Structure 1
């Protein structure tokens, strides 16, 4: 594997948690730990993005966000990465294509909060994503009903793994997705920024 990319061997199940992490917070760490337990994952990679194509405002420098993320999530099965910077990809579909080329035989699971599932049909090539990798959805406060009624949830309703079957997500061929309700933390990156508690270097 090229320098700067995390190691994974064929057959491993890697969960991918993408986002700006601007800033990273305990909510990110919480859903990561739960995803490892609930979806049968070997590892989780945080994909700290250069910027979110759906957001007009640019994030803090990626180096600051990477540093803060590594300080927050000190877990032996979690890697903080700048894969999207290294591959030059911005959209999830492009990133997945690059990872599937770089890691033949590795099984990837895309992880997202329920708020993302609610508007997933606005993502670039969202159907291709669902048909290419399993998707693990972790419920966040106030988003459970809208996520379950979302376009993506309806279109791929027959592909949902319910209850204990969610633990088989990483071994299930796409399309496959699972929705897990969690005791969630009421914390968000936007609230931290608004409170002035995130001051990256300039």
Structure 2
């Protein structure tokens, strides 16, 4: 049985924090792959209005290139409306019945688990894997495996703000993603 971690998010833009989390979970849990799953409409937050899905997808492809254990899964981008994890996991489990899935979430989302759409059904569809994030409480009553990940306090919103204000983002995200942002004039660059 193939063991696959799923890291969902807006990836607006993808950064080294995402890659570090994915790599640490892959290694610690001895997974076969990590699937990066950009969402269409996250129910809990608003994605940037100015960035097209094609741009988020391309930046993600650039960010993970060179790692054969990483791939992009577009199931949530391919459908309209809110990206509820329970619906996604039903579809993925039906399509890949010979896989075991681990859904990777940060402490901010662990804290939010009681509010997830159909959480009681969802916990029977996938194993949650939690990673620490500064300033969040990561303890919950829900079944979550914890993986220690070196702390890196970077976020996509911080990167967007830095790009917009012409501050450096070097060493916060891959050079290929920085180049793409500059070429496409994303985030006010």
- Structure 2 residue 4 is matched with structure 1 residue 37: no
Q: Classify the secondary structure of the residue corresponding to 2:124.
A: helix
CA drift of 1:29 comes to 0.3
**Contact 2:10–2:47 at 8 Å: present in 1 too?**
no
Tell me the matched-pair count. 166
CA drift of 1:48 comes to 0.8
Distance in 2, Cα, partners of 1:57 & 1:136: 23
Q: Classify the secondary structure of the residue corresponding to 2:31.
A: coil
Q: 2:88 corresponds to which residue?
A: 95
CA drift of 1:141 comes to 1.7
CA drift of 1:38 comes to 1.2
Point out where structure 1 has 5 or more consecutive residues left out of the alignment.
1-10, 160-176
Distance in 2, Cα, partners of 1:141 & 1:37: 22
Taking structure 2 as the reference length, the TM-score comes to 0.80
Point out where structure 2 has 5 or more consecutive residues left out of the alignment.
165-180
Taking structure 1 as the reference length, the TM-score comes to 0.75
- Structure 2 residue 35 is matched with structure 1 residue 68: no
Describe the shift of the 1:57–1:35 C-alpha distance in structure 2 as closer, same or farther (beyond 3 A). Answer: closer
**Contact 1:39–1:136 at 8 Å: present in 2 too?**
no
Q: Classify the secondary structure of the residue corresponding to 1:183.
A: coil
Residue from 125, 128, 131 that aligns with 1:132:
125
Distance in 1, Cα, partners of 2:187 & 2:154: 22
Pairwise CA RMSD: 2.0
What are the residue-to-residue correspondences of 1:39-58 with 2, within 5 Å?
39-58=29-48
